[in-house]
Structure 1
Amino acid sequence: MTVTSTTNNPYTVLNTGNSTSSSSVSASSAEGIQNRFLTLLTTQLKSQDPLNPMENNEITSQMAQISQVTGLENLSKSINSLLQSQYGTQSLLAASLVGKSAMIDGNTLTLAQGGTAQGGVILDGSAQNLAITVKNANGEVIDTFTMNNVDSGLTTFNWDGTDKDGNAAAAGVYTFSVAATNESNGKTTSVTAEPLSNQHVDAVVWDKGSPYIVTPQGGRVAIANIVQVS
């Protein structure tokens, strides 16, 4: 007579990989953890002392914990799905900007031969006088013109492309500065003014998960920093 000795370990099943139902499930996933938990719970119930069974509240507590794990993973999957959808929407919106003009932070004016150049300014408050000075690449003043009674917020302007003598300026990139002021009782006060550059959108690129427009000079500007599109 041969006697085979076995160790009656009710948890051996947790350490074996012979379960075909969960072989394709990652052990670290919520489903894998849930399968292991249910296997452990079933084993505990089968092996419990009939005279000292598990309390109902203990079983309920364990079930609640595993439900939380499953719920968190499902929530994470939902958030990832929403993020992917948002990235897709951002891609479509970003692509639609190619070929348009975007008002962005800057003080450059791009003048085409025989054309005009548009720029902009954001004022912290209304201004009775807004002086705009245009300079060439050498820093020389080409033209100066003013706007009166300008409201706070975004204001755009067009430079006619002529110098202070009325002659047509050469095509190219110019810079400009703005000075906004008010006069009251013989006193002149300044208004904070932020210059804006109107740039053609040549392309759109993605960098670290964020879309950027590419300007004719090769600069990159985050779409979130665009003030106006036309």
Structure 2
Amino acid sequence: MTTTSSVNSNSGTSGINDALKSGSASAADLQNNFLTMLVTQMNNQDPLNPMDNSQLTSQLAQISTVSSMQTMNATLNQLLGQVSASRAMDSAALIGHTVMVPGSQVSVKDGVPGKIGVDLPSTADAVTVNVIDKDGNVVRTIDMKGQTAGVHDIAWDGKNDAGTAVADGDYSFKVNATANGNSVQPVALVFGKVQSISGDSTGVLVDIGNGQTAGVDDVRRIL
């Protein structure tokens, strides 16, 4: 008498379900595993307890969905790569132009300071700028009074609070802006000439020299 072994479809499908949840298998692997399981079940099923067709159909639909999603992800990644390359090419037009980007470092050369600015997300009733030397001392405080939302230039003539020209070198500056006593989160800005365009995992970057880079989306003004 020939004995027919019983193959439990639950044990086979559970393995595929686990792979689906963990993402440990590719769509091709899942399809191969499913077909192997299906053929094994058909060859070894118990005639008195046949496999559940609806469950297998449901599992096949899941595998088809995973395969479609992986194909879609690959296509989207290709499109994102093309968009990124296109943006880098478009951004190359910025080379040689002076731009305003987030930053807080400013240099003074021959008594002339670099241009600086501020981006106010909302209207501020008080805006002050502190210019700080390399030793951490505040050498100049600039009162810009109230300002509307937007990008504004900061007028610094390269002198300290006593009206004396500061020494050439590197300085930093900090902007404080408040409305009704609360900070409006101002963004300090610096000017620089774009030397080159590059890219990393965060997107397209503009290099304005002296080791300073900024995302192309952070450019506030182009001169």
TM-score, normalization by structure 1 = 0.56
Write out per-residue CA displacement over residues 150-194 of structure 1, whole angstroms, 9 at most, x where no aligned residue. Answer: 323321256678999x9x999986666667699xxxxxx797655
Q: Structure 1, residues 179-214: CA drift from partner, whole Å, max 9, x if none?
A: 7699xxxxxx79765532112111223344543322
CA distance in 1, matches of 2:56, 2:46: 15
> Aligned-pair distance for 1:120?
1.1
Change (3 A) 1:194 1:58: closer
| SS of alignment partner, residue 94 of structure 2 | coil
Residue 30 of structure 2 corresponds to 33
Give the match's secondary structure for 1:196: strand
- 1:102 is displaced (CA, Å) by 2.4
Structure 2 counterpart of 1:64, from 61, 82, 94: 61
- Using the size of structure 2 for normalisation, the TM-score is 0.57
Gaps of 5+ in 2: 6-24
Confirm or deny: 8 A CA contact 1:132 1:144 kept in the other structure: yes
1:25 maps to what in 2? Answer: none
Q: Distance in 1 between matches of 2:63 and 2:138?
A: 73
Per-residue CA deviation, residues 33-76 of structure 1 (Å, 9 max, x unaligned), is: 31442344245335544454333323323323432432342243
Structure 1 position 204 matched with structure 2 position 197: yes
Rate the CA distance shift 1:135–1:29 in 2: closer, same or farther, 3 A: closer
Does the CA contact (< 8 Å) of 1:127 and 1:191 recur in 2?
no
Q: Superposition pairs for residues 11-50 of structure 1, below 5 Å?
A: 29-50=26-47
In structure 2, the residue matched to 1:195 is 188
- Aligned with 1:216: secondary structure? coil
Counterpart of 1:125 (choices 123, 126, 129) is 123
Residue aligning to 1:227: 220
* Residues 109 and 197, structure 1, Cα contact 8 Å, conserved in 2: yes
Once residues 35 and 217 of structure 2 are traced to their aligned partners in structure 1, the CA distance between those partners, rounded to angstroms, is: 49
> What is the CA distance between 1:131 and its match in structure 2?
6.4
**Residue of structure 2 aligned with 1:53, choices 30, 50, 55:** 50
Q: Aligned in 2, Cα 1:170/1:33: closer, same or farther, shift over 3 Å?
A: same
CA distance change for structure 1 residues 131 and 40 in 2, over 3 Å: closer, same or farther? closer
Q: Note the residue ranges of structure 1 that are not aligned, 5 or more in a row.
A: 1-7, 10-27, 183-188
By how many angstroms is 1:145 displaced? 7.4
Q: Does 1:213 align with 2:202?
A: no
Question: Alignment length, in residue pairs?
Answer: 198
